[in-house]
Chains A and B, each alone.
Chain A
Amino acid sequence: GAVVSQHPSRVICKSGTSVKIECRSLDFQATTMFWYRQFPKKSLMLMATSNEGSKATYEQGVEKDKFLINHASLTLSTLTVTSAHPEDSSFYICSARDPRGGENSPLHFGNGTRLTVT
């Protein structure tokens, strides 16, 4: 069964509005979660690392004011796309590692959120 739950699976919003995406770890606590973005026929690109209780770490070229990340608890991270524009339309996927599997435990991914900005 799924170990990482992501919601919503699809969202359509108007340009200029903000959208929040939730990522939950099921059955385990995750001090770190990862947010990826995927374009058609492209590889998954890491956007940021979400850290429970502290600021997120953003990859080079990712606007922290555009993509707000909050990791308020050990099972929940949220990504808010602020003032969305059509170029933000994409497939956003979160992931987390079950710490009980040790340092080599694989990343488990949510089912993604398809964002369409009109």
Chain B
Amino acid sequence: EDQVTQSPEALRLQEGESSSLNCSYTVSGLRGLFWYRQDPGKGPEFLFTLYSAGEEKEKERLKATLTKKESFLHITAPKPEDSATYLCAVAPFGNEKLTFGTGTRLTIIP
């Protein structure tokens, strides 16, 4: 059974204080690992897809990396508007279904 574990559950940072969020996964053949951002009362918003170990992707202050067992979402010099819950999900080959983690609730303090 595919599993996704995210840590920490919650993270409070001062504005400008860089950090990383972790997503550990087990999957029967990784088709893709996905990062989403979710604001309160909203649906998840797509950020990145990573397909193979060693791959990296960047978007503004966010950079996602992937190994064979985990993915990191690095946030550099965050701003208050980066506050949200960040979700990680995996999809196996031959299956459209995503398995989600419980997310990391990130709060950036001005």
Q: Give the distance in Å from the alpha carbon of A41 to the alpha carbon of B8 in the complex.
A: 13
* Closest A residue to B88 using CB positions: A43
The residues of A that contact B102 with a CB separation of less than 8 Å are: 41-43
List 12 additional contacts besides A9-B41, A42-B102, A43-B102; criterion CB under 8 Å: A43-B87, A44-B44, A44-B98, A46-B97, A46-B98, A104-B31, A104-B32, A107-B46, A109-B43, A109-B46, A111-B42, A112-B43
A32 on the B face (CB < 8 A): yes
Q: Check B101 against A104 for contact (C-beta < 8 Å).
A: no
Chain B interface residue count, Cβ-Cβ cutoff 8 angstroms: 23
Q: Is B100 an interface residue (CB 8 A)?
A: yes
A110 is contacted by which of B32, B43, B100 (Cβ under 8 Å)? B43
Q: CB-nearest residue of chain A relative to B45?
A: A109
> Closest CB of chain B to A19's CB: distance in Å?
18
Is A93 part of the contact surface with B, judged by Cβ < 8 Å?
yes
B96 at the interface (CB under 8 A from A): yes
Q: Contact residue range for chain A? A: 20 to 34
A contacts, CB < 8 Å to B = 4, 6, 9, 32, 34, 41-44, 46, 49, 93, 95, 97, 104, 106-112, 114
Chain B contacts to A: CB under 8 angstroms: 4, 9, 31-32, 34, 36, 41-46, 49, 51, 87, 89, 96-98, 100-103
Q: Chain B's nearest CB lies how many Å from the CB of A65?
A: 22
Q: Which residues of A contact B36 (CB under 8 A)?
A: 109
A4 proximity list for chain B (CB < 8 A): 43
Cβ of A43 and Cβ of B49 under 8 Å apart? no
A32–B31 touching, CB < 8 Å: no
Q: How far is the CA of A114 from the CA of B42 in the complex (A)?
A: 10
Chain A residues with Cβ below 8 Å from B4 are: 43
B101 CB contact (under 8 Å) in A43, A107, A108:
A43
Residues of A near B32 (CB, < 8 A) are 104
In the complex, residue of chain A having the shortest beta-carbon distance to the beta carbon of B34? A106
Q: Closest CB of chain B to A110's CB: distance in Å?
A: 5
Q: Report chain A residues within 8 Å CB of B44.
A: 44, 93, 109
